[in-house]
């Protein structure tokens, strides 16, 4: 337990310093970074989604591993939304910058739900995983509806 707590703290410290120190030479680097982080997160969330919807056999260990990655990644994309990154290869809406506190609150709600999701995954209970995965998907969608230009 103690060792787990220390390891968790070390991970948080590392990720916090990583995201705080994420520096981008050019706006397009930041855009690439945030897309990459979101893509990796979606891939690992999708592996659990497949289990939650019975498209893949349930494996508690694999679920926990993927949820840990989702939780780690949930903190990273936001450093890539700095000033000047509203133009380019992006479907990010201007509201991200014109309603910055609201966008930040959405990030925080999302990260909190990612943590709850990881806890559920660690419990190994597929019904808890399903419930928290549904909520997490809801926070993804909530942000996309407000802040992402739909693809046609
Ligand atoms: C995912 C994923 C998203 C969200 C979104 C939820 O698994 O890749 O972008 O969930 O589809 O509505």
Residue 23 is predicted with a pLDDT of 87
Section 88-102 average pLDDT: 98
Name the residue with the closest Cα to ligand 1, atom 2: 42
The pLDDT mean for the chain works out to 92
Residue 2 is predicted with a pLDDT of 64
Q: Say how many Å lie between the CA of residue 64 and the centre of ligand 1.
A: 19
Q: Say how many Å lie between the CA of residue 31 and the centre of ligand 1.
A: 19
Q: pLDDT tens digits, residue range 10-65?
A: 666 666 556 555 689 999 999 999 999 999 999 999 999 999 999 999 999 999 99
Which residues, including other chains, have CB under 8 Å from residue 8's CB and lie 6 or more apart?
none
The pTM assigned to this predicted structure is: 0.85
* Rounded Cα–Cα distance for residues 131 and 128 (Å): 5
Q: Say how many Å lie between the CA of residue 102 and the centre of ligand 1.
A: 20
């Amino acid at each position: 337990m103690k060792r787990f707590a220390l390891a968790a703290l070390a991970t948080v410290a590392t990720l916090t310093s990583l995201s705080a120190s994420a520096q981008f030479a050019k706006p397009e680097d930041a855009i690439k970074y945030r897309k990459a982080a979101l893509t990796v997160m979606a891939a690992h969330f999708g592996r659990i989604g497949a289990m939650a919807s019975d498209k893949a056999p349930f494996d508690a260990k694999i679920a926990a591993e993927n949820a840990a990655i989702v939780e780690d990644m949930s903190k990273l994309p936001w450093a890539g939304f700095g000033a000047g990154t509203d133009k380019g290869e992006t479907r990010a809406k201007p509201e991200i910058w014109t309603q910055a506190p609201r966008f930040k609150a959405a990030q925080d709600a999302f990260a909190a739900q990612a943590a709850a999701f990881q806890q559920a995954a660690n419990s190994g209970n597929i019904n808890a995983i399903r419930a928290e995965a549904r909520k997490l998907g809801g926070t993804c969608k909530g942000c996309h509806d407000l802040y992402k230009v739909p693809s046609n």
